Structures are given as structure tokens and as C-alpha cells.
Amino acid sequence: MAYELIGKLVAKYDTIQRTETFKTREFVIEKTDDIGGRIISNFIKLQCVQDRTSLPDRFNLGDEVKVSFNLKGTKWSKDGRENYITNLDAWRMEPAGSLQGGGGFGAPAQGVDAPPPPFVPDSAPGEADDLPF
């Protein structure tokens, strides 16, 4: 599932060549919310991989941007101990000023670059399926 985040670009880092064939780049978005008259800021670090590492290049620090991203998780073991890593993999960035309506953290992504919606089989309401499970 894809997600969206709208906020201010506050940091962008150099591209890192992780292996001969894999590269990443991180950047940070500040998401500010007014909760009961109190302003709360969250700083969300995202990453771009491979050919997407150039996404932050067209934006300046302080720009309001909309980022579309996927959640990715990895499990690995070292010295008998399990470890988990969660990444927010950005796949699209655009100026937030060009958006119609609201948005924010966790809103489902829409648009031509968005992944397709999940498959839903055709069935009439109330029609029982014949699957054994």
C-alpha cells in the first residue's frame, strides 16, 4: 500500500553507493500539526533508492512538498539476535503548492504513478463463494 506525506523539506543527504549495484539517498520532511491549539512537529526521514535518488534534487530546503512512499520492513539475524529495520521508500515527490485540497501523513496515494489498487474479485453482493476456506 502507498502513503502520502505533505510537509517541509528540512534536510537532504548525499547519495550513498551501498553495493556495486545498489544506492540510496535519505531526506527529512517536517510535518507540523495543530493539536488542540498546540503546534506539534514531527521529523520523518525517508529514503529513495536506485533511479529515484534524484527526487530531492529539484527542491530546496524549506519547500513544501508532497511525498508518495511505501513502507518496507526487513528482518535479519546477527549473533543469534533478531533485528528489524523499517524504511519509508519514496517513489514520487512534487510541490505541495500545486495540490488541490488537503492531504497529510498516511493518506492513500492517488495519481498516475500510484501502485494499482488491490485486486477485488467480481461477485454480486450476497453471493456465496464456493471456496473451501
18-59 confidence digits (pLDDT tens): 999 999 999 999 999 999 999 999 999 999 999 999 999 999
Domain CATH number, residue 8: 2.40.50.140
Asked, for residue 119, whether it belongs to a domain, the answer is no
Average pLDDT over residues 87-98: 90
Separation CA 72–CA 90 (nearest Å): 10
Domains held by the chain: number:
1
Please check whether residue 111 lies inside any domain of the structure. no
Residue 78 covered by a domain: yes
Q: Is residue 132 part of a domain?
A: no
Q: Is 130 among the domain residues?
A: no
Residue 103 — pLDDT band, cuts 50, 70, 90? very low
Average pLDDT over residues 56-84: 93
- Single pTM value for the model: 0.69
Predicted pLDDT at 130: 52
Cβ contacts of 36 within 8 Å, gap of 6 or more: none
Quote the domain boundaries for residue 73.
2-102
Does a structural domain hold residue 113? no
60 CA to centre of own chain: 19
With a cut of 50, say whether residue 124 has pLDDT above it. no
- Dihedral sign for Cα atoms in the order 55, 86, 110, 35: negative
